[in-house]
Chains A and B, each alone.
Chain A
């Protein structure tokens, strides 16, 4: 029947087109391994601007639903950032999310991790980042009062978002830094 013929043909055309697209996507993803190159990443803590403590416990038990109980050390640091993410950009890179985080063990926690700074590069044109002393975007906070005199590890990670394919994370250890022995005045 003519009508059925048209539907049938459309079906075949669409299926073939879809299969072709899948093959292209796979080839695109595989090409990443040939195109990949190492970026240059360097981040260090330039200065610990402030180390202080927050001690807030809601008086009435009911209030802890409204106000977060906070008993912790908090710090604010400045970072020295120098990176060139240009090598990460090729035809299957949509954007790169780069971030630095601090990690340390404490009395109660085997792992504490806080992201201190992040940035987004959407093309090779904005992939060179140079900041000699940048105030970190996010505060560093502990669970408890354990930051005084503590040495923390610093790590930089880039997260490459492709147009299609697996997301990619790569970690680079950076020099560790030490907190002041006492709270800031």
Chain B
């Protein structure tokens, strides 16, 4: 009988401290400890990202492919690792470029290139492997060439389908908030490490 009561007490405690008012069990120092722990996790992720940025030389070293314009090489949800490097850009390279007034960067291949003798400036024209025409129609009005400053990174590595979670979270924002909330609660309530 006493065994059953123990179980009941434990269950009641669990419901009271973890479900009805999870914060009741965490007071003072414990709360502070949790906050620091949570901060550490966020800081770790940030440090990892910034280290990758420094090593790769690209401002966003990992991108997820969002469109099918590079099929069959890259599909939606594939992960690309970008580098920048100082070597000259060449035709046939796959680059990620950003255009003013366009929120989402584009992953396409360089098909034409002209490098000026005097200034060293490069004029680039890109095209998606799966597109019938080059990207002139995507560039803003009056822009006929891309330049090095438009390039965010050059594709160096590839992982098929490794970014499907990002696609899912992009399509369903609720999922993103559920995941962030879940992670937050998990870290906050998980006192036993």
Residues of A bordering B, CB below 8 Å: 1, 3-4, 7-8, 25, 64-66, 68, 94-95, 97, 99, 101, 105, 107-115, 118, 120, 122, 138, 141, 143, 157, 159, 161-167, 169
Contact = CB atoms under 8 A, between A and B. Distances in A.
Contacts of A7: 186, 190
A124 to B, nearest CB: 15
B159 interface: yes
Interface in B53-74: 72-74
14 contacts: A4-B192, A66-B141, A68-B144, A108-B117, A109-B116, A113-B90, A115-B112, A120-B72, A122-B72, A159-B94, A161-B74, A164-B159, A166-B157, A166-B158
Counting chain B residues whose Cβ lies within 8 A of the other chain, the interface size class is 35 or more
B85 interface: no
Contacts of B33: none
Contacts of A65: 141-142
B92 A157 contact: yes
Contacts of B118: 108
A107 B123 CA distance: 15
A183 B94 CA distance: 34
Interface of B: 10, 14, 72-74, 88, 90-94, 109, 111-118, 120, 123, 129, 136, 141-142, 144, 155-160, 162, 186, 190, 192
Contact of B92 (A66, A95, A101): A101
B72 A95 contact: yes
B132 to A, nearest CB: 10
A159 B129 CA distance: 12
A109 B91 contact: no
Contact of A111 (B10, B114, B136, B158): B114
B156 A167 contact: yes
A105 B116 CA distance: 10
A164 B162 CA distance: 9
Residue of B91, B142, B144 with most partner-chain A CB within 10 A: B91
B130 to A, nearest CB: 9
Nearest to A109: B114
Nearest to B115: A111
A138 B157 contact: no
Given A122-B72, A161-B158, A110 B192 contact: no
B189 to A, nearest CB: 9
B69 to A, nearest CB: 14
Given A64-B142, A109-B114, A141-B112, A114 B160 contact: no
A169 B91 CA distance: 11
Nearest to A102: B91
B112 to A, nearest CB: 5
A115 B114 contact: no
Contacts of A162: 158
B161 to A, nearest CB: 9
A143 B123 contact: yes
Residue of A115, A163, A169 with most partner-chain B CB within 10 A: A115
A138 to B, nearest CB: 7
